[in-house]
Amino acid sequence: MVNRQFVLASRPVGMPKESDLRMVETPVPALRDGEVLLRALYLSVDPYMRGRMNAAKSYAPSVEIGELMVGGGVARVVESKNLGYEVGDVVNLQMGWQEYAVSNGEGLRKVDPNIAPVSTALGVLGMPGLTAYFGLLEVCGVNAGETVVVSAAAGAVGSVVGQIAKIKGCRAVGIAGGPEKTSYVTEECGFDAALDYKAATDYPAAIKELCPGGVDVYFDNVGGPITDAVLANLNARARIAICGQIAHANDTQPSMGPRMWRHILVARAKVQGFLVFDYAGRYGSALEQLGQWVRSGQIKYHEDIVQGFENMPRALIGLFRGENLGKRIVKI
Amino acid sequence: MVNRQFVLASRPVGMPKESDLRMVETPVPALRDGEVLLRALYLSVDPYMRGRMNAAKSYAPSVEIGELMVGGGVARVVESKNLGYEVGDVVNLQMGWQEYAVSNGEGLRKVDPNIAPVSTALGVLGMPGLTAYFGLLEVCGVNAGETVVVSAAAGAVGSVVGQIAKIKGCRAVGIAGGPEKTSYVTEECGFDAALDYKAATDYPAAIKELCPGGVDVYFDNVGGPITDAVLANLNARARIAICGQIAHANDTQPSMGPRMWRHILVARAKVQGFLVFDYAGRYGSALEQLGQWVRSGQIKYHEDIVQGFENMPRALIGLFRGENLGKRIVKI
């Protein structure tokens, strides 16, 4: 049986090209005792993957040239020599960009199809949902009545951030690109307001208009001039979580902007970079809560599904063009 | 009896001019029951005063045109109708830029001349020392063996930050302008290393050389390119206290620089703007500890004394030129 994989062919300079990833075919190895064979149902593309394609030091090791691209997936057990798994079980794991994976069970999480479609294990009930949950509730902390601003608000993380903020009694303001996304954010996800940064010219004034009482919490997925504008509108004791900087993912030289630390000082604000993995010990209870909110309809989600394994590179590249609404996943 | 005062004559644009402050003479009012008459011994000039001269909203109200300039002082009781104070007592208070002040006792702190010279109540045993203490130990938190970098290291706050870091078993690295200051920092204050930013060209490389193990804690008094360089050398879980941004005190337009939030994200760093006033309830125990360190010689300090009340404006302006070594105070 043949396994198709994508390996890193070359390190991208700026925006990745499809040719930076190469499809290879390898045989699926025979199972040993204790192992399961998994067939991918859905694979994830996420902005963090761009960082792994660089040689530069980051919080996680780089993918080496010729190595399997990293990433999460939802897969079905198609063969099992592990007593903990039966054929047909659906699991979530870091399986990389490939159609089949062999696992000894380590790092697998069973996905219950009765809670929600199993694809949600890559989105609202997976890493992006957990990132929103811990970033908003633990890194920032929110109090009812506060104003919460989130960038990339129509994305997998941002859309959940605003909805949790609403559940907690906050005013939620999203920033997104284009009317389709801002409508999604306000009309589907129930945010109080949204800024279309593609239509705005004076970002600080636009933020001020949407947040007349100032900004108490900022969940930043983007960086760049949008973040500068939010920082110019901070309230005293504001909290800022830096979750991503997608505006800078493909920078080939440092992005220049106004130095904003005086605003952080004057507001006595707290800024923190965080990774969801720091909260790994508490995923279980967080997923339970997120699952309740999804089932009750208090959290809505949208999946942006790309068909076919062969389209993974272009699915990833599209994230940096802002193509996706909600969580982009590839159906295998 | 005549009281000389400095009032704000005009709001500075950029670097303050002496003419932005005007000396006026007013009669010293007669005391009412419960009041004391205070004669200034030493008055303080501090970088924060520049912000108060602006109309712009900040953490504290602006000084209005024609109003007495704000500031701390050490004064002697020369007349008392308050049972708590005797003639000859020395006190620390926010008395503003004037030779005499009348107080009902509120906000006065008695200064014990047996602990250290009373002028230290404006420096190492006053607001700057407390700022160093709480900023390093509470905002940042330090562990033995960590590398602590402080900017404006030869200043009133920075010199104490590095010495407390040494007491706590850290490696202390200071950044200051010119060989006199860097020598002071390493030879008098016992820092492990100091960077003369006026002599350096490649700041990030210079920081890397002095902090080969990376930066765990950064106490920022300055901002600007020096701060950018430190942020490029952060270790995982670095903590940054923003205490001041003197490089930007006189900016007339936003200072531009590379956007550094990606570094904060990758390091999972925490950045916090703070004011010492947030710790007002704990000044007593902190001053006791600082006093012990000063008496034991574990904390050294330098006072940069300017003679004469009439020289207060130029004493303040000199801070922004980096004239001072240690705490600048004006002897009345």
pLDDT at position B331: 98
For residue B59, what pLDDT band results from cuts at 50, 70 and 90? confident
Nearest neighbour of B262 by CB, restricted to A248, A257, A274: A248
Please, is B78 exposed, middle or buried when counting C-beta atoms within 10 Å of its C-beta (0-12, 13-18, 19+)?
middle
B227 touching chain A per CB within 8 A = yes
Q: Are strands B72-80 and B36-44 parallel, antiparallel or unpaired?
A: antiparallel
Share of chain B above pLDDT 70, in %: 100
pTM of the model: 0.95
Nearest neighbour of B259 by CB, restricted to A248, A262, A270: A248
A61 touching chain B per CB within 8 A = no
What contacts B248, CB < 8 A, 6 or more positions away? Answer: A259, A262, B223, B224, B255
Whether B265 and A242 lie within 8 Å, measured CB to CB: yes
Whether A262 and B278 lie within 8 Å, measured CB to CB: no
pLDDT at position A204: 96
Question: Searching chain B, which residue's CA lies closest to the CA of residue A59?
Answer: B266
Tens digit of pLDDT for each residue in B206-237?
999 999 999 999 999 999 999 999 999 999 99
Q: Report chain A (332 residues): mean pLDDT per 10 consecutive residues.
A: 96 96 96 97 97 85 96 98 97 98 96 95 98 98 98 97 98 98 98 98 97 98 97 97 94 94 96 96 96 97 97 97 96 97
* CB within 8 Å of chain A, chain B residues 250-279: 254-259, 261-262, 264-275, 278
Q: Give the gap in angstroms from C-alpha B121 to the nearest C-alpha of chain A.
A: 25
- Is residue A32 within 8 Å of A113, Cβ to Cβ? no
pLDDT at position A56: 80
- Is residue A49 within 8 Å of A71, Cβ to Cβ? yes
B179 touching chain A per CB within 8 A = no
Nearest neighbour of B268 by CB, restricted to A57, A59, A258: A59
- Where helices occur in chain A by DSSP H, the ranges are 48-52, 127-134, 158-167, 179-183, 203-210, 224-231, 261-267, 283-295, 312-320
Judging contacts by C-beta atoms under 8 Å, the chain B residues touching residue A275 are: 268
Strand ranges inside chain A, DSSP E: 2-8, 21-27, 36-44, 72-80, 90-94, 100-103, 109-110, 147-151, 171-176, 193-196, 215-220, 234-242, 256-258, 270-273, 303-307, 327-331
Judging contacts by C-beta atoms under 8 Å, the chain A residues touching residue B275 are: 268
A221 touching chain B per CB within 8 A = no
Torsional sign, CA A202, A208, A210, A211: positive
Tens digit of pLDDT for each residue in A73-88?
999 999 999 999 999 9
Q: What does pLDDT average to over chain A?
A: 96
Judging contacts by C-beta atoms under 8 Å, the chain B residues touching residue A245 are: 261-262, 265
Whether B261 and A242 lie within 8 Å, measured CB to CB: yes
Cβ count within 10 A of residue A166: 18
- The CA distances from residue B205 to A272, B44, B146, B208, B233, in Å, are 25, 36, 19, 5, 9
Does residue B248 sit in helix, strand or coil?
Answer: helix
How many angstroms separate the CA atoms of A170 and A298, rounded?
14
Q: Which of A143, A129, A148, A188 is nearest to A325 (CA)?
A: A188
Number of A–B residue contacts, CB under 8 Å: 102
A59, A230, A234, A262, best to mutate vs chain B, most B CBs in 10 Å: A262
Judging contacts by C-beta atoms under 8 Å, the chain B residues touching residue A243 are: 265
Tens digit of pLDDT for each residue in A182-229?
999 999 999 999 999 999 999 999 999 999 999 999 999 999 999 999
Does residue A14 sit in helix, strand or coil?
Answer: coil
Question: Searching chain B, which residue's CA lies closest to the CA of residue A272?
Answer: B270
Cβ count within 10 A of residue A288: 11
| Greatest Cα pair distance in chain B | 63
Question: Searching chain B, which residue's CA lies closest to the CA of residue A250?
Answer: B262
What ipTM was reported for this prediction?
A: 0.94
A226, A265, A272, A275, best to mutate vs chain B, most B CBs in 10 Å: A265
